[in-house]
Homo-oligomer: A and B are copies of this chain.
Amino acid sequence: MDKRTVLIVDDEEEMRLLVGMYLENAGFRCLEAGDGDEALAILAQQPVDAVLLDVMMPKQDGFAVCARIREQSDVPILFLTALGEEWDKVKGLKLGGDDYIVKPFSPGELIARLEAVLRRARRSREQNGRLQFGELAIDEKGRTVAVGGEMVKLTLKEFDLLLFLAKHRGQVFSRDDLLVKVWGYDYTGNARTVDTHVKTLRMKLKDAGRHIQTVWGIGYKFEG
């Protein structure tokens, strides 16, 4: 299981721990930063799926940090703001924040907002032709695939097959379905060809090959 990673930026350790607990209960992996500099350092080092950013911080406020993050990354940012700072909403969202949540908040609300922001980010990425499943990244326009940052060279059919399955993740397709959808309706070859491509895909994708699953008696599916 690859957990999604959230970076919590808040000067108060207590708040970080509290939020971190909520998130970990909900199955996220948490990183913490006490100020903007730490946050930037972490973001530069490892991929993060979302940032929770406190607005009120001593050294640099959340908006300044948000602006600096946006210089180098379009990671989704969710502001945490105390009651009565509502005016900040506009300011924050204009600066490239994706949502804001007013303290005090319930675990449920936090998770719901976070999931919503992550869903939106995923959709937006997919509209740009970039699919991401944990360590597996697929770039439709560039026709490239990377596993854990490492480029993997795929042939035409391998790429098309992977892309199709990934775009329709969760759905099972028979070999004949795949021949029609990926090879074209007028393809007349042997259905076992699909097996061979699945084999090479799994081999080339290493660990990430587990996304392509065999459904015995039916065919294959991509599980993301």
Contact = CB atoms under 8 A, between A and B. Distances in A.
A85 interface: no
A60 to B, nearest CB: 11
- Report whether over half of chain A's contact residues are helix, strand or loop; otherwise say mixed: helix
Contact of A40 (B45, B71, B112, B218): B112
A134 interface: no
Most chain B Cβ neighbours within 10 Å, of A105, A108, A113, A172: A108
A220 to B, nearest CB: 11
B105 A37 contact: yes
Contacts of A44: 108-109, 111-112, 115
A218 B139 contact: no
Interface of A: 37-38, 40-45, 68, 71-72, 105-109, 111-113, 115-116, 119-120, 139, 141-143, 155-156, 170-172, 215-218, 221
